[in-house]
Amino acid sequence: MTITFVGHGYVGLVSASVFAQLGNTVWVIGHTKEKIENLKKGIIPIYEPGLEEIVKQNVNAKRLLFILDYKEAIPASDVVFIAVGTPPKKTGEADLSVVFKVAEEIGKHIDGYTVVVTKSTVPVGTNYQVKKIVEKVKPKKATFDVASTPEFLREGQAINDTLHPDRIVIGTETKQAENVLKELHKQVDGVLVTTNIPTAEMIKYAANAFLATKISFANAIAQLSEMTGADALQVLGGIGLDKRIGKSFLSPGPGYGGSCFPKDVKALIAIAKQHGYDFLLLKEVEAINIQAMQRIVQKTKDVLHRNIKNKTIGVLGLSFKPDTDDMRDAPSIFIIQSLQKSGAKIKAYDPIAIENAKKLLHNVTFCKDSYAVAEHADVLIVVTEWNEFRQLDLSRIKNVMKKPILIDGRNIYDPEKVKELGFVYQGVGRK
């Protein structure tokens, strides 16, 4: 099958590369000449384990084709995916301006029968707006259907999630479009869920909002556990053994971030408001998430007896999660900027995300490794649970610090062992 993806971010580039790997001819349309030329050479603009190799392999096989205009790709395609960003507006609503602009360009160039699929995360009703746009501008002889196939990729595991998803959601209006998309996904082994379009659009938001809720619940229990003398890790581990609840996303920490949870929670609150429903639960999920970040800042101040001005704080981990360089809404941004406002000096290290962090964080000393961060630091904070931090020589860390104070924002260390080494230790939800 010949398909096109408009957009080469995480969703577009990963999905396009995997479908090319499965034997399809895949066009990818971008709007930046430099990025397209780099992609033609196999140079990718994001960090995702294994992606660069797949891109190079399929570019060389001429199954993955990068282009700037719509004229060649769209008429030749059976399916065209819209995979562009939908960032939040100040109101929390998703900004759909690029989606609609792309829909218009697609509509002008379709030929024969085409399935136009929105893979971007969009509010309920967006695909019907896309349909109106395409209908208005398409050539008279061209026919099309619209569809929704939301993505559920986890950064750092996106290739595996594309090939082996928990579910494949296909929302359509017609049997013809459904059959085309079933055929395209036949080599992908997830459970197939076929729905109408509004249901498919809602599934994506509902999934991310529920996962964000689990994280905020874990952080609320962590805070209460600290107050009562309970161990949150054992509490959450205990309830996670209940099959109705499950263990995933019940780890307390400095809050959620990234490209999906913050904006999708905001968007679902806005969608609810537009339909006359006050989504109080999700408003509290947001509030608790901010509290989780504030708690890390407060712990830092408390261990220094609120004397934080001109103190050197080391931060390990900047990306919102390990195995990605994504800094979007990363908790590290809030934590670092809050500490700076109180007069602290910040040193930081991340295995991958430093270049992206430099665009967002100022007056930070970015270091070559964890030991350089720890040198002469008054406090060391673990913000992102990169595996290499689990393997650190903590005796060496202690010896180079000004004060051996460790705030383990991800609970990656054994508190007793760390204390035996002479550290002042604080985790999240631990006594």
Distance from the first to the final alpha carbon of the chain: 57
**What's the token pair of residue 218?**
């874990």
Q: How far apart are CA 30 and CA 15, in angstroms?
A: 14
Half-sphere exposure of 124 (CA within 13 A, CB side): 16
Q: How far apart are CA 354 and CA 342, in angstroms?
A: 23
The single residue of 116, 158, 260, 293 carrying the catalytic annotation is: 260
**What's the token pair of residue 37?**
């030329």
- Residue 6, SS3? strand
**What's the token pair of residue 226?**
């600290």
Is 367 catalytic? The answer is no
Q: Which residues contact 335 (CB under 8 A, 6 or more apart)?
A: 254, 293, 296, 297, 315, 381, 383
- 117 phi, psi to nearest 5 deg: -115, 130
Under a CB-based contact definition with an 8 Å cutoff, are residues 55 and 28 in contact? no
Q: How far apart are CA 404 and CA 380, in angstroms?
A: 8
- Enumerate the active-site residues: 260
